[in-house]
Amino acid sequence: MNAIRPVARRAKSLSSTLGFGEKLFTSGDERRFAAAVEEGLEAVEARLVLEMSFADDLADVTSRYLLDAGGKRVRPTLALMTAQLGDGNNDAVIAAAEAIEVIHLASLYHDDVMDEAQMRRGVPSAQSVWGNSVAILTGDLLFARASKIVAGLGEEAIRLQADTFERLCLGQLHETIGPGDGEDPIAHYLGVLADKTGSLIAAAAQTGAVLSGAPLEYRTAVTAYGEKIGVAFQLVDDIIDLAPPVDETGKNAGTDLRSGVATLPLLYLRRLAEIDSDADELLTRIEHNVNVADLGHADDADLTAAIAELREHEVTRQTRAEAHRWAREAVEAIRPLPPGPVKKALTQFAESIVERSN
């Protein structure tokens, strides 16, 4: 039943996965770096396919579902890139890169249940196929599997995994309950993004450096870098959320806003609405329509028009500027790295994250 499948899904090159121009890797050093990361990714992919096997037919199918649906493998790629600061793709680096992708996958199963998401990676979300219980248990199984892999990597890795898991859960929890009394909603939101996304990306960058034996100051630098690009990535997501649909997934512009998530453009709009009546009017139209949508009385045309206005609004430009600021800080964080392909690729990656449009 658990036949080994070919490792053929990663047809994309490293450059296209990370949004680099194909001409990024030109010198011999750079080409060797790119080849090492590509090779590492093939090894990770092969292990991922083998690892999604639970001696249970249903669990095998449900756990492979989102893996097979796609994904950019950003976290393993980062781990492999930072491993090139030390002795490269050793067994521990490959295993850790795999475990981090499995943790990420696990979190997606749970997140889609919490968000009641219909689609993920272009396919119906797991819980809309099998129901909430199966989706939650699949996430748990994957997390258990990741823990088994990390158990072989030593105490530092186990502790990092536990700390990261804690931050992922706290990020989700804080997002769910919202800011406390007297807490600044924007600072709260940025904290949520750092915890729910920055922490795992930071862990990926850190693990590659630690398990390859890279110098201590490089480890600290790439960890800070990972956290900051994680926040930049999520902020760009907030802008992309406002874009009109470009495919046949049936997603409306403003999916997050419609489901009640206060993304950064909306938080900026709320702040501006306290002193600006036009902003207040736009905010009222959005919030009124989102609230009545719950009761099935929303005027969809009005909400769509209001979201289009928000897309062109100053607050969305401010959100983009904030994403750029996090990306710039990420690049500043890796200043201690030696000049060379790793620094170049990480710099380019930070820039491509804030330029992406999907």
Please give the residue ranges that form the binding site for ligand FPP (CB under 6 A). Answer: 103, 106-107, 110-111, 115, 117, 139, 143, 165, 168-169, 172, 196-197
Minimal CB distance to Mg ion: which residue? Answer: 115
Q: How buried is 26 (Cβ within 10 angstroms: 0-12 exposed, 13-18 middle, 19+ buried)?
A: exposed
Q: Which does 240 bind (CB under 5 to 8 A by kind): Mg ion, ligand FPP, none?
A: none
- Return d(Cα 289, Cα 291) in angstroms, integer: 5
Closer CB to Mg ion, residue 115 or residue 280?
Answer: 115
Min CB(294)–ligand FPP separation in Å:
19
Min CB(35)–ligand FPP separation in Å:
30
Closer CB to ligand FPP, residue 218 or residue 268?
Answer: 268
| Cβ atoms < 10 Å from Cβ of 192 | 22
Alpha carbon of residue 6 to chain centroid: 26
Q: Which does 197 bind (CB under 5 to 8 A by kind): ligand FPP, Mg ion, none?
A: ligand FPP
Which residues have a Cβ under 8 Å from the Cβ of 26 and sit 6 or more positions away? none
Contacts with Mg ion by CB under 5 A lie at: 111, 115
Dig out the tokens for 213 from the structure.
């034996």
Closer CB to ligand FPP, residue 256 or residue 280?
Answer: 256
Q: Which does 196 bind (CB under 5 to 8 A by kind): Mg ion, ligand FPP, none?
A: ligand FPP
Closer CB to ligand FPP, residue 80 or residue 108?
Answer: 108
Closer CB to ligand FPP, residue 45 or residue 241?
Answer: 241
Contact criterion met (CB below 8 Å) for 283 and 262: no
What own/partner pairs with CB < 8 Å and gap ≥ 24 does 44-48 have?
A: 44/73, 44/76, 44/80, 44/94, 44/97, 44/98, 44/101, 45/7, 45/9, 45/10, 45/73, 46/7, 47/94, 47/95, 47/98, 48/98, 48/101, 48/102
Q: Which does 103 bind (CB under 5 to 8 A by kind): Mg ion, ligand FPP, none?
A: ligand FPP
Min CB(4)–ligand FPP separation in Å:
26
Q: Which does 164 bind (CB under 5 to 8 A by kind): ligand FPP, Mg ion, none?
A: none
Min CB(115)–ligand FPP separation in Å:
5
Q: Which does 107 bind (CB under 5 to 8 A by kind): Mg ion, ligand FPP, none?
A: ligand FPP
Min CB(107)–ligand FPP separation in Å:
4
Closer CB to Mg ion, residue 111 or residue 309?
Answer: 111
- Return d(Cα 272, Cα 263) in angstroms, integer: 14
Structural Rg of the chain based on CA atoms: 21
Min CB(246)–ligand FPP separation in Å:
16
- Return d(Cα 199, Cα 219) in angstroms, integer: 14
CA-based nearest residue to 193, from 226, 234, 236: 234
Q: What is the dihedral of CA 246, 252, 257, 259, to 10 degrees?
A: -130
Min CB(140)–ligand FPP separation in Å:
7
